[in-house]
Amino acid sequence: MEYTLSKIATNDGHGENSAFFDGWKAYDSDPYHPTKNPNGVIQMGLAENQLSFDLVQEWVKKNPKASICTNEGVDDFKEIAIFQDYHGLPEFRNAVARFMERVRGNRVRFDPNRIVMSGGATGAQETLAFCLADSGDALLVPTPYYPGNDRDLTWRTGIQLLPVVCESSTGFKITREALETAYKKAQDSNIKVKGLLLNNPSNPLGTTIDKQTLTESLTFTNEKQIHLICDEIYSATVFDQPGFTSIAEIFEENPKSYNPNLIHIVYSLSKDLGFPGFRVGIIYSYNDTVTNCARKMSSFGLVSTQTQHLIASMLSDDEFVDRFIPESAKRLAKRHEILTRGLAQVGIGSLKSNAGLFCWMDLRRLLKEATFEAEAELWRMIIEDVKINVSPGAPFHCSEPGWFRVCFANMDDEAVRVAINRIHEFVMIVQTKKQRYIRRGKLEVSLSFRRLDEIMMGSMKMSSPHSPMSSPLVRAMT
């Protein structure tokens, strides 16, 4: 070809070919449906919050004026459709700021004039990257982390993400030591570190970051005079103790101790309300220059005014918000309990968690060997035999193979029941060796189960003698 495209278009910076995306494709070609395709793949790889739409739909029916497409609201159609100020509708900014305060138990204040829109948290992350760092610069990110970060923060900006290695032995806690190690490593390689990106609560861990760790992290970035970006997209999904602490609280408790120009929050309604389709992303920076610059950049990904208008009405309805937040958390707690108990019944553990739309499942001892190749092999087996799409730890940059993210809020109770049954059956079959499924004549399945069985035998051999196991499957650390 005589013409050329850009380097960005021809490199693989988007990373869509990772296993994270492969799993979605497997699901897409054979999706589970209770009646039409009961043996299809169950999608547990999507961090979606579908549990409380009845509350939303009920509200929508009761509030026809919230929409510009109802008889009650259509008179506003023109004004809303032509509104193109990148500051956003004032009522939208107010409502979002207020909602963010409520989610944080009204312990902090958010200035509506600092609310900057973006195309989801996806757009927010990229915008902040463009504002804070030049091509070649780096941000530190504790592992495991949301794989989309690689695309969102680095692809078009040319910046790099450097891992801060966190380990299961400490519950994947972010330590000052790990931060310093990562920072030093970058310095040794002559890479300019411009900031630290935290995700609180964490995807994929499903845990909130405790106050002390947040304080330490902020002290670290403040000392180094680098930026702290907190992605708090899962803030309203906290369903258990300890509760959620926002970086805004740490800052406001000791505003004199930290340079506000270095603190930035990313938010979105994709998870807390479950509206990823609406693309409502928010950048909240305490830095005026960043706020102004990000707002100008928001022209590339403004929120549709049709959606701003709806969200403004919905989130300024205190009664609705006061009911939605706790009810949604309650339902997530229940779903989390059903899944983790179901797993525990057959000896599968997961990291103790209190937030998010997923749990972080420990299948380390199921691995043939402690490598990411073995993790990928196990993952393919889970897709092909158990027909559940979970996400392996590798694309999350987890430092230890064998962890898997299992999403639990993107399906109905029945699908969860089927998924748990499948896992149970799978484990039972493995436990009773080949007899049962050969009797049933499940020849094709037996072949791959045999493969799994061999792996598990290997894994058994590997498991340490001082932890005698009744099952090759592991009760994980919790």
Ligand X SMILES: Cc1ncc(COP(=O)(O)O)c(C=O)c1O
User: Does residue 286 have an active-site annotation?
Assistant: no
Which structure tokens are listed for 358?
A: 């997923």
Smallest separation, CB 442 to ligand X (Å):
36
For ligand X, the binding residues in 102-161 under the rule CB under 6 A are 120-122, 146, 148
The residue from 226, 229, 233, 311 that is catalytic is: 233
CB of 29 to a copy of itself, least distance (A): 14
Q: For residues 29-58, which are near ligand X according to CB under 6 A?
A: 47
Asked if 259 touches a copy of itself (CB under 8 A), the answer is: yes
> Which one, of 206, 165, 145, 149, lies nearest residue 393 by Cα?
145
CA neighbor of 270 nearest in space, from 48, 56, 24: 48
Catalytic choice (150, 231, 362, 385): 231
Positions in 218-257 near a copy of itself (CB under 8 A): 225-227
Cβ 287 to a copy of itself shortest distance, Å: 8
3-class DSSP assignment, residue 244:
coil
Distances 357 to 278, 329, 351, 397 between C-alpha atoms, Å: 19, 10, 13, 19
- The residue nearest ligand X at its CB is 120
Query: If binding is defined by CB under 8 A, does position 8 make contact with a copy of itself?
Result: yes
Name the residue type at position 64.
P
The C-alpha R_g of the chain, in whole angstroms, comes to 23
Work out whether 266 is an interface residue with a copy of itself (CB under 8 A): no
Nearest to 199 by CA among 241, 261, 167, 244: 244
Sites for a copy of itself among residues 393-422 (CB under 8 A): 410
Which of 375, 474, 380 shows the shortest CA–CA distance to 430? 474
Please list every residue from 290 through 329 that binds a copy of itself, using CB under 8 A. Answer: 290, 293, 296-297, 299-307, 310
Q: Is-contact 183 330, C-beta < 8 A? A: no
Output the smallest distance, CB 81 to a copy of itself, in A: 5
**Is 186 near a copy of itself (CB under 8 A)?**
no
CB-based burial of residue 340 (10 Å sphere; 0-12 exposed, 13-18 middle, 19+ buried)?
Answer: buried
Query: Which pair of tokens denotes residue 355?
Result: 């937030």
The least distance separating a copy of itself from the CB of residue 78, rounded to whole angstroms, comes to 4
- Comparing CA positions, the residue from 145, 32, 27, 198 lying closest to residue 403 is 145
Number of residues that bind ligand X (CB under 6 A): 14
Give the contact letters, 359-378, x = binds to ligand X (CB under 6 A), - = no: --------------------
Q: Which of 25, 34, 37, 64 forms a contact with a copy of itself (CB under 8 A)?
A: 64
Least CB distance to ligand X at residue 280 (A): 7
User: Per CB under 8 A, does 134 bind a copy of itself?
Assistant: yes
Query: Facing residues of 195 across strands?
Result: 139, 227
Longest dimension (CA), the chain: 74
Does 439 help bind a copy of itself (rule: CB under 8 A)? no
231, interface contact from a copy of itself, ligand X, none, CB < 5-8 Å by kind: ligand X
With CA atoms as reference, report the closest residue to 205 among 248, 149, 167: 167
42, 145, 247, 271: which one is catalytic?
271
In 358-436, beta strands by DSSP E? 358-362, 388-389, 391-392, 403-407
CA distances from 145 to 193, 204, 205 (A): 18, 6, 8
**CB–CB of 102/96 below 8 Å?**
no
Annotated active-site residue in 27, 32, 145, 146: 146
Residue 271 is among the residues annotated as catalytic for this protein:
yes
**Which residues within the stretch 301-320 sit at the binding site for ligand X (CB under 6 A)?**
none
Cβ proximity of 40 and 387 under 8 Å? yes
- Shortest Å distance, C-beta 135 to ligand X: 22
**Does residue number 445 form part of the binding site for a copy of itself (CB under 8 A)?**
no
Provide the token pair at 169. 């032995």
Among 18, 31, 40, 77, binds a copy of itself (CB under 8 A): 77
Q: Which does 439 bind (CB under 5 to 8 A by kind): a copy of itself, ligand X, none?
A: none
Which of 145, 239, 267, 275 touches a copy of itself by CB under 8 A?
275
Q: Nearest Cα to 416, choosing from 350, 355, 336?
A: 336
Which partner in ligand X, a copy of itself, none is near 284 (CB below 5 to 8 A by kind)? Answer: none
Our answer to whether residue 231 is catalytic in this structure is yes
10 Å CB burial of residue 325 (0-12, 13-18, 19+) is buried
The partner in contact with residue 278, picked from a copy of itself, ligand X, none with C-beta cut-offs of 5 to 8 angstroms by kind, is a copy of itself
Distance CA 131, CA 113 (A): 18
Q: Does 2 bind a copy of itself (CB under 8 A)?
A: yes
CB of residue 387 vs ligand X: minimum separation in angstroms? 23
The residue type found at 418 is: V
* Dihedral, 441, 447, 449, 454 alpha carbons, nearest 10: 130
Q: Locate 141 and state its tokens.
A: 């990110």
Asked if 6 touches a copy of itself (CB under 8 A), the answer is yes
- Whether residue 146 lies in the annotated active site: yes
Count of residues that interact with a copy of itself, criterion CB under 8 A: 80
Give the binding site for ligand X (CB under 6 A): 47, 120-122, 146, 148, 199, 203, 231, 233, 268, 270, 276, 281
Positions marked active-site:
146, 231, 233, 271
